[in-house]
Amino acid sequence: MVDLVQASHVFLDCPARDVDEALHVIADKAVELGIGTDADAIFKALRSREDMGSTGMTDGYAIPHAMAPEIKETAVIVLKLSGDIAWKTMDEAPVVYAIALLVPAEEGASVHLELLSKIARVLTHANFRTEMENATDAETIAAAVNKRLHD
């Protein structure tokens, strides 16, 4: 399996102050990285999914995700926020990490759901959460996520 998370797709100290700002950062970075072609359309896809039900999980994590024609390759973008942001989560804790899944529409829902399930399982590992909290660089964060996705 190819590593889905590249160090260049990890953004530390992201200054987003709310969910919409975080989703805009993800959409903008997707276009900057060549993953997508239209930041507004990707933001709308992320926001639409968020409106169906929060992607906030537990322990300070959210997994925003979207499938859209403007997304050209399957990718994961990780934001480590510079501060906690309010995001509707299962444990009502604020979010510090957003692990965003972006999937091209032509890949289909099965690929999207399989990757979403894998990322959600990654968050259940206490060792993973500790690695993320202690990580000070993008390479360490990318390696931590990829390691668990390969398990």
More confident call, 108 vs 13: 13
Model confidence pLDDT, tens digit, residues 17-73: 999 999 999 999 999 999 999 999 999 999 999 999 999 999 999 999 999 999 999
Q: What is the dihedral of CA 119, 121, 127, 131, to 10 degrees?
A: 10
DSSP run (H or E) holding 75: strand 75-85
* 119 closest CA partner among 67, 32, 70, 55: 55
Q: What is the mean pLDDT of residues 5-22?
A: 96
